[in-house]
Chains A and B, each alone.
Chain A
Amino acid sequence: GAVVSQHPSWVICKSGTSVKIECRSLDFQATTMFWYRQFPKQSLMLMATSNEGSKATYEQGVEKDKFLINHASLTLSTLTVTSAHPEDSSFYICSAKESYNEQFFGPGTRLTVL
């Protein structure tokens, strides 16, 4: 099946710093990528949807200036958490899809903000 990778898998940062998370589709061209946030014992919450070359569409309640998403190529999307604070600590998961196909999920990135 299609493979999606995320980097880093785990990051710890100080409060006030910015953190960038990469999501790559390794063996297919991802026309659309999705970013989710998952809290312990809770569901995946969709944060935003990005189409290659276009601005991301954010879900209600997600701060665009806080969570910057770039989908500059068909194989790479990045999520930058700007001025991170402890409440941003979470598990961030990306997924990617090609055309009218299912979403393939990355393994996730655990962010801890001290």
Chain B
Amino acid sequence: GEDVEQSLFLSVREGDSSVINCTYTDSSSTYLYWYKQEPGAGLQLLTYIFSNMDMKQDQRLTVLLNKKDKHLSLRIADTQTGDSAIYFCAESSTGGGNKLTFGTGTQLKVEL
């Protein structure tokens, strides 16, 4: 079945860039997503990328996709304390908000 892997923890200093990495195994993955989970809140969709794209930028967020290596990354520029959260990557072969397979989540801690 599908498998999505992430490192568990990342610590950065405020103002630095954060890079969260994700690898997946399903070659039919068509849509790849990044979600943010804050304590007591639901998962919030940050951004997504189609498999035919290499890069997508949205304000402080940059998503890079290496389809050959099945590697996805999320770069957060000028990381702030409010960015501290758990970040999940997810993949779907169908899109349209249908079945998502989530990674294990990366806890980002932003230190002053």
Contacts and interface: CB of A to CB of B under 8 A. Distances in A.
A103 interface: yes
B42 A43 contact: no
Contacts of B110: none
Interface in B66-112: 88, 96-97, 99-105
Given A4-B42, A93-B42, A100 B102 contact: no
Given A104-B42, A105-B43, A42 B104 contact: yes
A45 B40 CA distance: 18
B104 A107 contact: no
Contacts of A102: 45, 97
A107 B40 contact: yes
B59 to A, nearest CB: 16
Interface in B1-51: 4, 8, 35, 40-45
Given A4-B42, A106-B42, A41 B8 contact: yes
A100 B98 CA distance: 8
A43 B99 contact: no
Contact of A41 (B43, B97, B101, B104): B104
A49 B41 contact: no
A90 to B, nearest CB: 15
Contacts of B8: 41
A107 B97 contact: no
A100 B45 CA distance: 15
Given A43-B105, A44-B102, 10 more contacts: A9-B40, A32-B97, A42-B105, A44-B88, A100-B96, A102-B97, A103-B97, A103-B100, A105-B43, A106-B42
